[in-house]
Amino acid sequence: MAVIHDVMPAFELFQPASISDALALLDRYGSDAWVMAGGLDSFDWLKDRIKRPKVVVDLSQVQGLRGIKAQNGGLEIGAGTTLTEVFRDFRRSFVHLAQAGYFNNTQCHRVVTSGIYVLQCGDAYATASAKLTCGATSKIGSGTPGYAFANENLTDAKYPAGTVAMANGGPNTNGSQFFIVYKDSTSGLNGSSGPAYTPFATVSSGLGIVQNVAKGGYSCQYAQSGGGVPKKKVIIDSVTIKKA
């Protein structure tokens, strides 16, 4: 009986020694580059990914960098100023998280139906199989990738229906969570101090699905943030990055 082993196709490996070199590689290769921070031991994790990398940027040789560990089928990236520098903007961060499978098999954990009108997703604690609750001891809504980056694109930002923007816990605390606006929320999201949430995309089709989820309401209410767990369960199977 023949046994066929899964062999990862060859890829180009870079091990930069500094943050500046790492950033140059990420700029050069864009979405073709996967970031790995755990050294050669992380190759076993890479082998499990459905999509295979063309270029791997291994950050384990960058001085002061902390490692990564598997969590919920994705990555938890060790906190540290060096990682914040690497993932210092939305583009680098979102592409990295998507390619790492961070969003795969997670639920959209929050729907808000008053004041602002959004469906919020991107929390690794909200796994597809989890029963989401709103209790004070629940971790739902607190998930981050272990780093944060600054707000972007706020000048004259508006949030009409179909806007996709980063959720945050205050200025420059963007991580992995994002929301989809299903009804104009410009006045509610801007408030008295102006735009505070980084818009990065618009929904090209399927907004009606989000609107139907909102019509279903929520099963419990978050005391602090408002809104609650959608009655109609929404699962992100995967996120794919495509070049324009």
Residues 142-169: pLDDT tens digits? 888 877 888 988 999 999 999 999 999 9
d(CA 140, CA 136): 10
Q: Read off the pLDDT of each residue in 112-129 and give the average, rounded to a whole number.
A: 95
Please state which of the ranges 38-52, 101-115, 124-138 shows the lowest mean pLDDT. 38-52
* 3 burial level (CB within 10 Å; 0-12, 13-18, 19+): exposed
Spatial contact of 59 and 26, defined as CB atoms under 8 Å apart: no
> Hey, how many other C-beta atoms are within 10 angstroms of the C-beta on 57?
25
Q: Read off the pLDDT of each residue in 124-141 and give the average, rounded to a whole number.
A: 90
Structural domains of the chain in order of their starting residue, each with its CATH number: 12-99 (no CATH), 106-236 (2.40.100.10)
Please state which of the ranges 22-31, 101-110, 155-164, 177-186 shows the lowest mean pLDDT. 22-31
DSSP letter (8 states) at residue 169: S
Closest CA to 203 of 188, 176, 182: 182
Residues 165-221: pLDDT tens digits? 999 999 888 989 999 999 999 999 997 788 999 999 999 999 999 999 999 999 999
Spatial contact of 10 and 52, defined as CB atoms under 8 Å apart: no
**Residue 95: both structure tokens together:** 């592409």
pLDDT of residue 2: 44
> Hey, how many other C-beta atoms are within 10 angstroms of the C-beta on 41?
11
β-strands 55-58, 12-14 pairing: parallel
244 pLDDT band, cuts 50/70/90, is: low
β-strands 33-36, 55-58 pairing: parallel
> Hey, how many other C-beta atoms are within 10 angstroms of the C-beta on 33?
23
Q: Within the chain, what is the greatest distance between any pair of CA atoms? A: 70
Please state which of the ranges 14-28, 101-115, 195-209, 224-238 shows the lowest mean pLDDT. 14-28
Closest CA to 238 of 100, 140, 111, 132: 100
pLDDT of residue 87: 61
**pLDDT(47) > 60:** no
Spatial contact of 122 and 195, defined as CB atoms under 8 Å apart: no
% of the chain surpassing 70 pLDDT? 75
**pLDDT(48) > 50:** no
pTM over 0.75: no
pLDDT of residue 3: 44
